[in-house]
Amino acid sequence: MSLFDDLQSEWQGQKGPEIPELGTREVRGRLKYLKREARTTSWILGATVLGVIGFFSYLQAFSSGVVVLAMGLMTGSLLVRIALELYGRRRLRRMDPTLPTAAFQERLFGYYRHRRWVHLVLTPVVLVLYGLGFAMLLPDFKASLSPGFYTYILVSGAVFALGLFWLIASQVRREFRLLHYLRPAPDDAEAA
């Protein structure tokens, strides 16, 4: 009878099922954070597009084909990035953390793959095209602006580029950290 008593006491001493590390409320909060970050990025990029268009409108520099091409590269690349941010926000809006775990993880992993592509492939292309457009403008700026204003544009452009790079890199790091935390564990993915 002692074997039965030992088994019964061991059975009663077991811990109950553990509460999952990611509760629905926590996942919702983190998805809300991702949505807010995407909205902020869209606003910053939109303000940059408006600033570029406003600057060229102020200078009335639309007569030169090179200037129009450079402005097209700068604004077009940013508009593509804004469109991808809006698409990502729409995907996040459709993501329901109350779905069954396997379905939610599948959607989250699809979103994660999309964001990796946006950040690791498209964002560098956007930055290169924007920088190329800016570099195409420098000879026209040097020819038509005073040396002091040209120097101001060079310095402020470099500071803006470094600030934008830092902002994008820190946002990408935060988003990848969060998405990595939300992604399914390897054991969960194999079990599903």
Q: List pLDDT tens digits, range 13-31.
A: 655 444 445 566 666 677 7
Least reliable range by pLDDT among 11-15, 51-55, 66-70, 83-87: 11-15
Q: What is the mean pLDDT of the chain?
A: 77
DSSP state string for the chain: -HHHHHHHHHHHTS--PPPPSS-HHHHHHHHHHHHHHHHHHHHHHHHHHHHHHHHHHHHT--SSHHHHHHHHHHHHHHHHHHHHHHHHHHHHHH--TTS-HHHHHHHHHHHHHHHHHIIIIIHHHHHHHHHHHHHHHHHHHHHHS-HHHHHHHHHHHHHHHHHHHHHHHHHHHHHHHHHHHHSPPHHHHHH-
Averaged pLDDT, 81-104? 79
pTM metric for this prediction: 0.66
For residue range 122-162, what is the model confidence (pLDDT) as tens digits?
888 988 998 898 899 888 888 878 899 889 988 988 898 88
